[in-house]
Amino acid sequence: MKHNVLILLFFIGFLASSQDYFPDSQAVKTKSENFVALHSATIHVSSKKTIEYATILFKNGKIIDVGKSVKLPENTIKIDAKGKHIYPSFIEVYSDFGIKKIESAPRQSQPQYDPNRKGYYWNDHVRPDQNAISHFEFDDSEAEKLRKSGFGVVNTHITDGFVRGTSALFALNESENVNENLLSKHSAQYFAFDKSKQSRQAYPSSIMGFTALLRQFYLDTEAYQNGLIDNKDLAIEAFIGNKNLPQIFNVDNYLNALRADKIGDQFGVQYTIIGSGDEYKRVQEIKDTKAKFILPLDFPEAFDVENPHLRDYLSLSEMRHWHHAPANPKILADNDITFAFTSKGLESPDELLKNLRKSIDLGLDKNLALAALTEVPAEIIGKSDQLGTLEKGKIANFFISSKALFEDDFKIYENWVQGERHIFEDIDVIDISGQYNLTFEGETYELNIKNEAEKYSAEVKQDTLKLGSKLTYEKGWLNLILTETDKDSDKYVLLTSKIDTSNKAISGKAILPNGDETKFTATIATNKESEDKDEDKDEEKEDESDAKLLNVRYPNMAYGLKDKTKESHRLLIKNATVITGESEGTLENTDVLVIDGKIEKIDRNLNDRRAEVIEGEGKYLTAGIVDEHSHIAASSVNEGGHNSSAEVTMEDAVNPDDISIYRALAGGVTSVQLLHGSANPIGGQSAILKLKWGEDAEDMIYDNSPKFIKFALGENVKQSNWGGNSRFPQSRMGVEQVFIDYFTRAKEYEHKKNSGETYRKDEEMETLLEIINGERFISCHSYVQSEINMLMKVAEQFGFTVNTFTHILEGYKVADKMKAHGAGASTFSDWWAYKYEVNDAIPFNAAIMHNQGITVAINSDDGEMIRRLNQEAAKTIKYGDVSEDEAWKFVTLNPAKLLHIEDRVGSIKVGKDADLVLWNVHPLSVYAKPEKTMIEGQIYFDLEKDLAMRESIKEERNFLINKMMKAKNKGLKTQPIKKKEKEFLHCDSLDELNHTHE
């Protein structure tokens, strides 16, 4: 056996020079035509096929045959791999292996709006022209790490920018010539919601900016191909060239995975998604993407919960994620989602298998796990014909291991890449563990050689004296360094022996401190195994009971729901005081019947046997509150990278996992307009949501939602309060011109569009056209009367109406003009004094505008105020003597009207959605609180259930904290053991060798 190893080391030299057209002046060129066969091994040909006592035969880096009875040609070097396992080596698909450092663009004092690059796309973050090869230098030490972890090939790319360009596929062999280990020059195209550090261009600055930019880039590529763009664009050309490559999208949370996939659907592209490990949170939606996933295994570590004060700062969502993350692959597998694994996020690739083991322990199928490291990644990069399994004709990329994957003491001895051998540990080590009697120079010592997962260590004693010792056992050579028996000596004895038989009698040379050489012998006393092992096993079993998985909640956090899909049912609310918000006014002792989410009947003494009855006696039933101006449930609020961002939509930025949703429900709010921020004159499109806590983003967005867009005026858009002074406009005068300019361009665009000529589709212009054509409504952030008046004049000039002025704190000064124009108003009850333009804001504003016949709403614009909009409405009674009925409409029917959803919500009326709130007292009282909040007949907030949830949150927190304590205590248990070891022996370096006494 040992002979074979030596021969092979020799043989490798030949393999390396198999590219015969390269001149070589160093040696005589000889091409090997020999075969290599590994035999008697358990060969895992693929995740589905394992052959015992099998042989794999290969030549020139290609597999010739594999099986139980492979015919070996004469010129075959045979290697006995009896008892060993052979696996196809792993494939890393997300990596910046060998990519040279990317320099960052210098910081600037003012935001940059234009691109740096000339001849490319107008946005610097779109860089499909980047390719890995041009920035590549093979990294030997990284390659060694990857090989040791079982990888054979790596797909590498420049991990910078939004559209990141192409990757290259490398076999992990050192090579003087790139083309020897280069398997593919352009293997895939990568994306990420990330800006390039090579440019400071401001746009995009938000998730909805990224999604809009990508859509427009696809549209522009189409236009370019159709000859509609005159100038040459190297980025677009590169993108066209990359079209047929696998398209791989890197995201950092599951929401972004869904967002990326949605764009892909629109343009007929199916991305493979490099996930973030939280896909389990919405597994159904993830499944619906039909995407393959590349999953990281960088599971969060247990938090240090031993400090009781720290615990409060840890949310149940973080703890749950810690708990669930290792189960992510299993949960995805149970839902038939195809995935690969990546070592992305791990400090070192050798953590991959260690972490994956956690997933296996939680029930992930081992074969699936293997496929996720081999076949699936091969398939993702379109290389299934060459990689991923050990079938005939494929590249001979495999590793040899001690045990089957995921078994205890699994380790990799060798990793063969393109048939080239990389040895990490001897495949056939003679086990020398045991208790010996060591003798040299007439003295006898007790020598205990331990073998833990083929890591050898020694302990040497003479009576009670323990000697410092260090043992190495590599390539058949045993070296043992001992301190002298004299405690104060800093001199050492070196024992060395070549082990080539397993008869457990060791003899060799001892070199004494004075340089004299003599003989030593060590004869076996006992063959005993480590005694601690059984105990360890017991502990592990105990831990398995902890592995009990909590149900994933929707969202997976405090107050999340166990089950997000509920059956629609019938509800009957009895004997309540019903504030209809309609001409019927307030009805005493009245019942409301809800069927299939709609209000079916409003009357006294209603009966419905099948309905669930809610007793409303002494309580008030109202329509759910509608907030015209909100920013809760948003992943991002502003796309301020341009002065117009009409192309972006908040529908791309909805975050259904925001606790503010639940808290708003507890305040009786059922619908909100999620508005873009006010960073620019033309902001982004709105998302109008029902606060269906537990549902996903798409399900919260209104069906057939009216189209809205945010506009803004004044201090924010002219950047008065944060020092930006490089973006037009800087004054209210400029704001008007921005609008006129954009609408004029939109008209020109329309002209071209209607002319019948082919045209370049522009999402921004399409949106502006919708406004002009009355298909999309403006909600305009506004404060002072001059600008309010201005926008109405601009709108009139282009023939449309400003639907809503929001904030509109000086609306009372131009209420007559607003009425004449037909604008509505959504204002604060009493906010003022926070900036100069609200100096004349008065709490009577709502009342005056209302008295002038304007449709007035009171909004929150705030995650706190949204919790008690009923109180804000009541303030209009104090400030301006608005009647109770009208005041209540300020937060229900009127905002519904402003949002064009009054046919569905805003009042209690037969046929409308059953978005209802049951209050303890009249909702305009400061003492009011919602007891139940319903949307479409489903109860989304219930005071009693809330109390019960508090208890379960407490329980879960305790369960998880205990689990973490255990995780840490396991560490603590190993700590003393480690300490003990240190006392006995610390053998990292000779300097630290010292005597210790037991």
Partner 1 sequence: MNSTIHTNKMKNFSNTIQILIALLISISTMAQQTPAPEQNETISIVGGTAHIGNGEVIEDAVIVFDNGKITYVGTDKTQAKGKQISAENNHIYPGFIAPNATLGLVEIDAVKATDDEDELGKMLPHVRSIIAYNTESKIVESMRPNGVLMGQIAPRGGRISGTSSIVHFDAWNWEDAIIKEDDGIHLNWPSSFKRSGSWYDAERPFEQNKKYDSEVENLITYFQNAKVYNSDEKDLEFEAMQGLFEGSKSLFVHVDGEKEIQDVISFKKQMNFDQLTIVGAYQSHKLAKLLKSENISVLIQRVHSTPTFEDDDYDLPYKLPKILHDAGVLVALEGSGSMERMNSRNLPFYAGTAAAFGLDKEIALQMITLNTAKILGVDNQIGSLEVGKDATLFISEGDALDMKTNKLIQAFIQGRNISLETHQTELYQRYSDKYDD
Site for partner 1 in 933-962 (CB under 8 A): 946, 950, 953, 957
Q: Which two tokens stand for residue 613?
A: 């009855």
Under 8 Å between Cβ of 656 and 664: no
Q: Tell me the one-letter amino acid at 494.
A: L
Residue 978, SS3?
helix
Q: Which residues in 124-143 contact partner 1 (CB under 8 A)?
A: none
| Residue 851 within binding range of partner 1, rule CB under 8 A | yes
Residue the block writes with tokens 């549209």: 219
Q: Which residues in 498-517 contact partner 1 (CB under 8 A)?
A: none
Find the binder of partner 1 among 619, 875, 904, 912 (CB under 8 A).
875
Find the binder of partner 1 among 411, 929, 945, 970 (CB under 8 A).
929
- Tell me whether residue 95 or residue 829 sits nearer to partner 1 (CB atom): 829
- Tell me whether residue 7 or residue 310 sits nearer to partner 1 (CB atom): 310
CB of 595 to partner 1, least distance (A): 18
Q: Which residues in 646-705 contact partner 1 (CB under 8 A)?
A: 659-660, 662-663, 666
Find the binder of partner 1 among 715, 736, 770, 861 (CB under 8 A).
715
How does DSSP assign 744-804, residue by residue? HHHHHHHHHHHTTS-----HHHHHHHHHHTTSEEEEEEE-SHHHHHHHHHHHHHTT----E
Find the binder of partner 1 among 132, 768, 901, 928 (CB under 8 A).
928
CB neighbour list of residue 21: distance below 8 Å, 6 or more residues apart: none
Q: Tell me the one-letter amino acid at 548.
A: K
How does DSSP assign 431-443, residue by residue? P--EEEEEEETTE
CB of 696 to partner 1, least distance (A): 18
Q: Helix 316-324 vs helix 943-984: angle between axes, to the nearest 10 degrees? A: 60
CB of 251 to partner 1, least distance (A): 15
CB of 841 to partner 1, least distance (A): 8
Distance (Å, rounded) from C-alpha 326 to C-alpha 333?
13
Q: Which two tokens stand for residue 470?
A: 């260090």
Question: What's the gap between Cα 387 and its chain centre?
Answer: 27
- Tell me whether residue 73 or residue 618 sits nearer to partner 1 (CB atom): 618
Q: Which residues in 291-350 contact partner 1 (CB under 8 A)?
A: 309-310, 312-313, 315-317
- Tell me whether residue 148 or residue 663 sits nearer to partner 1 (CB atom): 663
- Tell me whether residue 88 or residue 683 sits nearer to partner 1 (CB atom): 683
Q: Which residues in 787-846 contact partner 1 (CB under 8 A)?
A: 812-813, 815-816, 830-836, 839-840, 842-844
Q: Tell me the one-letter amino acid at 580.
A: T
CB of 312 to partner 1, least distance (A): 6
Q: Which residues in 607-636 contact partner 1 (CB under 8 A)?
A: 634-636
Q: Phi and psi dihedrals of 708, rounded to 5? A: -130, 160
| Residue 60 within binding range of partner 1, rule CB under 8 A | no
Find the binder of partner 1 among 305, 854, 874, 916 (CB under 8 A).
874
- Tell me whether residue 129 or residue 886 sits nearer to partner 1 (CB atom): 886
- Tell me whether residue 64 or residue 634 sits nearer to partner 1 (CB atom): 634
Find the binder of partner 1 among 868, 897, 904, 932 (CB under 8 A).
868
Find the binder of partner 1 among 720, 801, 952, 996 (CB under 8 A).
720
How much of the chain is helix, strand and coil, in % rounded to 5?
A: 30, 25, 45
| Residue 883 within binding range of partner 1, rule CB under 8 A | yes
Find the binder of partner 1 among 403, 461, 878, 995 (CB under 8 A).
878
The 3-class secondary structure across 588-634, one letter per residue, is EEEEEEEECCEEEEEECCCCCCCCEEEECCCCEEEECEEEEEECCCE
Total number of residues binding partner 1 (CB under 8 A)? 74
Distance (Å, rounded) from C-alpha 77 to C-alpha 74?
9
388 exposure class (CB count in 10 Å sphere: 0-12, 13-18, 19+): buried
Residues in the chain: 998
Q: Which two tokens stand for residue 361?
A: 């322990």
CB of 612 to partner 1, least distance (A): 23
- Tell me whether residue 83 or residue 853 sits nearer to partner 1 (CB atom): 853
- Tell me whether residue 198 or residue 649 sits nearer to partner 1 (CB atom): 649
Q: Which two tokens stand for residue 984?
A: 């006995």
Q: Which residues in 887-926 contact partner 1 (CB under 8 A)?
A: 924-926
Find the binder of partner 1 among 347, 463, 567, 588 (CB under 8 A).
588
Name which of 582, 620, 573 is nearest 894 in CA terms. Answer: 582
CB of 605 to partner 1, least distance (A): 8
Cross-sheet strand order for the sheet of 776-782: 682-685, 707-712, 776-782, 804-807, 824-827, 856-858
- Tell me whether residue 398 or residue 783 sits nearer to partner 1 (CB atom): 783
Q: Which residues in 589-608 contact partner 1 (CB under 8 A)?
A: 589-590, 602-604
How does DSSP assign 321-347, residue by residue? HHHHGGGHHHHHHHTT--EEEE-TT-S
Q: Which residues in 544-583 contact partner 1 (CB under 8 A)?
A: 557-558
* DSSP 8-state code for residue 925: S
- Tell me whether residue 202 or residue 602 sits nearer to partner 1 (CB atom): 602
CB of 663 to partner 1, least distance (A): 5
- Tell me whether residue 460 or residue 928 sits nearer to partner 1 (CB atom): 928
